[in-house]
Chains A and B, each alone.
Chain A
C-alpha cells in the first residue's frame, strides 16, 4: 500500500523557517517525481514545487520561488521542503504527492498544517 506521511508542520513567525518532510513507502520512491501542494484554510489546491527523478529538474511556483527549497533522499525514501522567510499567506496544509499523470502516481499524504502568525 502506498503511504506518504508528512511531518514538520507547526506554528512559525513571519520571517521564520520550517522544514517539512514526507516519508514514502509502498512504492519505488526513486522512480517517481515528487511534488508539494498546499491548501490554505477553506481554499483550493495550489501546486508549489516539483522535483524529478534523480533531482534533475526542479520547479517552483512564483509564490515560493527563492524562499522554499525542495529536495529528496532516495536512500531514505524521503522528500523535504525547506521553507524560509515565511509569510502569513504561507499558512496552509501542505501535501506531498508522488507525481500526477502516470500509472501509480497521484497519491497524496494526509498533509501537515503550517501556520504562520505572530
Chain B
C-alpha cells in the first residue's frame, strides 16, 4: 500500500501569517494517464471533510485563493498564504493513483 506521511502533524499559526503542510508518498503518484493523483481535504471541527485541491494544484470552486497546492512525484505541499480563523481544522492529503486509496494522518492547524 502507498503510505502517505504529513508534516508537521500539529501546526499552530498566527492569524494573517502563512502556513505550509508537507505530504510525501511512498510511491510516485503519477498515473499511466499522465495525471498526478494527489488531493487535499480540510475537516473543520465537527464537520465533514471538504475537498480543497485535486490533482496537486486544482482548487475547488468556492475555495479561497489563499489555498494553493504544489508538488510532483512523491513530494507535495499545501500552502495557506494568510491564515484566517476559519482555516482551523485538520488537513489531509490523499492519493488516488494506487489501490487501495490512502490518506495521510492529518495535520491539525490551530491558532496560536
Contacts and interface: CB of A to CB of B under 8 A. Distances in A.
Q: Is the interface of A mostly helix, strand, loop or mixed?
A: loop
B92 interface: yes
A101 B39 contact: yes
In the complex, which range does the number of interface residues on chain B fall in? 20 to 34
B49 A100 contact: no
A45 B48 contact: no
B22 interface: no
Contacts of B99: 50, 59
A110 B46 CA distance: 10
B48 A106 contact: no
Given A45-B49, A108-B50, A109-B48, A100 B94 contact: yes
Contacts, number: 62
A25 B88 CA distance: 29
A105 B54 contact: yes
Interface residues of A, number: 23
B60 A100 contact: no
Contacts of B96: 100-101
A100 B48 contact: no
Closest 5 CB pairs between A and B? Answer: A106-B51, A47-B101, A108-B48, A45-B103, A101-B96
Given A101-B54, A108-B50, 8 more contacts: A35-B101, A37-B49, A100-B39, A100-B54, A100-B101, A101-B55, A106-B51, A108-B51
